Structure 1
Amino acid sequence: MKGTGATPSGESLGTVARVVALLRLLAESKNDLTLTALSERMGLAPSTIHRLMSLLIQEGLVGRDESTKTYYCAAEFVRISSLVLGASRVSDLAGPILQSLADQFDESSMLCLYLEQQRQYTIAKSAHGTQLLRYDIQENKPLSLLWGASARSILAFLPQAHIDEVIAREVSRDEDAAGILADLAATRERGYAFTKGQRVEGSIGLGAPFFNAGGKVVGSVCLTIPRNRFDDAREKNMGAALKANAERLSHMLGYFPKQG
């Protein structure tokens, strides 16, 4: 199939071609199509669309907004697209925010995305200040949700069942699990995660979550700083800046929390 803008007849499409056509349709429609709309645009039965979308959701390529009943390209699709193209809708939106944070604090900033099906996350994009001493940031690699501010700023805002699943999979001692749960509670209270040397020895990490239109956590905006360059007095200022910029990104994605 060539990207001519026309959708081929459903009868002429094999399963692989149907999946490609669905992903293309979602990407080009700004992620606002319901099952009925997809069925009409594709010329396929709703039951066929539902089966294909269920497979894509299982693989983390597509998500469903329960409030609007619409489908969207999810984080794993964004991660794969980023590997191929070096760009994505979220990372494009986040680019100026990351650079602003890097310029404001003269440190490295990161965009992290939640990989829902794997219960992991990945660093999708980064920006740097002028400091020559900084950490080597590996982008588009699946990472544990347990260690570091980049991870815990996402984990803390997941449903409790997902949190318990991650902890049960990676933590063996009850006292360690209790400490993690206490830190996650403190993260929710502050609105941002703050860690010292958890993922990378000698590093300071701060991260704040951002959300999609349905109120689900999509990822986090983070700062990483060498410990010998960090002043504890800057924590609250950095945390406030991360929260404000993560809120900006959430608004760009259509999330506006209920007041009161």
Structure 2
Amino acid sequence: MDKPLKTPPSYPIASVDHALRAATILQLEGGATVSQMAERLGVARSTAHRLLAMLVYRDFAMQDEDHLYRAGPVLELAAHSQSLVSRLRAAALPHLHRVVDVLDETTNLIVRTGDTARFIASVECRQALRVGSREGMVFPAHRTTAGLLLLAELTDEELEEVYSPDRYRDRPADRPDLPKLRTELKRLRRNRFAVNKERSERGLVAVGVPVCDQDGTALAGLSVSMPGTRYDPHRLQSLVATLTTTAHALQKDLADLH
């Protein structure tokens, strides 16, 4: 088993977490009002206003003439990327909430950029012991459920380019074993689902399926995350079935947007 990458800090600082999440929302989605940010972060409107004011002061955000806060120069992100991520997230959120209603486990939507996987949406379940929101977090693609499913779309040549030794010259230990990875991706390509047991975070198990476009190419990954103590392998088939049904419904919504 791979060593997990991230463990939540023992003493998290809520204000810092809120500021980082606010910056991520602005970067990924293109803009938000104070009220929208307060709702997303689950904080008072006054708290959201102070957070955004500090982000503006440090150039992580800017406020336009309509009082909408947008990503500032520090967070430079191409407009087309904002648009794609924003459309994906907006279309997916109702489906993520429905999965949480059915499974009562935290549900996520993930996209891949190069060798990394970014969580662009996350809806927490209601259970006391649960996996918290991963929205905005970035992990190595080969260490996440959805990242693996998206890597499985690549040809051997494309995979070789993503994991070119030149890109890992300063961090060779981070480069995965490509023959082993190819074997795993071949199996995922056939199964159309993936299970991640503590590869990204200690004590966490995730199950995921791809979300495809009209041509059948995977655009994103849909996953549920749960504490390992609650994962039952006998439930795998039903988990995959629920996620697959949801992915197909999301794919239809995305197609209707074009």
| Contact 2:100–2:106 (8 Å) recurs in 1 | yes
Question: How big is the alpha-carbon RMSD for the aligned residues of Structure 1 and Structure 2?
Answer: 2.8
| Change over 3 Å in CA distance of 1:192–1:61 after alignment to 2 | farther
Larger relative contact order (CA 8 Å, sep ≥ 6):
2
* Residue of 117, 120, 124 corresponding to 2:116: 120
Name 1:154's counterpart in structure 2.
Answer: 150
Give the paired residue count: 177
1:141-220 equivalences under 5 Å are: 141-168=137-164, 169=167, 176-220=177-221
Match of 1:96 among 90, 94, 97: 94
Aligned to 1:21: none
Q: How much does 1:173 deviate?
A: 9.9
Which amino acid letter does the alignment assign opposite residue 155 of structure 1?
Answer: L
Distance apart, 1:236 and its partner CA: 1.3
Identity %: 22
Q: Distance in 2 between matches of 1:241 and 1:94?
A: 15
Question: Deviation at 1:123?
Answer: 0.6
TM-score (norm 1): 0.59
TM-score, normalization: structure 2? Answer: 0.60
Distance apart, 1:165 and its partner CA: 2.6
Aligned partner of 1:190: which letter? N
Match of 1:233, SS state, is: helix
Q: Larger Cα Rg: Structure 1 or Structure 2?
A: 1
Q: Which residue of 2 aligns with 1:233?
A: 234
CA distance in 2, matches of 1:246, 1:207: 10
Residue 140 of structure 1 aligns to a residue in which SS?
Answer: coil
Q: 1:133 to 1:217 in 2, by over 3 A?
A: same
Q: Which residue identity lines up with residue 149 of structure 2 in the other structure?
A: S
Q: Residues 30-179 of structure 1 correspond to what in structure 2 (within 5 A)?
A: 61=78, 73-74=80-81, 77-79=83-85, 88-115=86-113, 118-168=114-164, 169=167, 176-179=177-180
Distance 1:60 1:244, change over 3 A: farther
1:254 CA displacement: 2.1
Greater shift after overlay, 134-143 or 237-246?
Answer: 134-143
- The answer as to whether partners of 2:151 and 2:159 remain within 8 angstroms in 1 is yes
C-alpha distance in 1 between matches for 2:119 and 2:243: 16
Q: 1:178 to 1:92 in 2, by over 3 A?
A: same
Q: Kindly state the Cα deviation for residue 190 of structure 1 after the two structures are TM-superposed.
A: 1.1
1:146–1:167 CA contact under 8 A, matched in 2: no
Residue pair 1:206, 1:223 contacting (<8 A) in 2 also:
yes
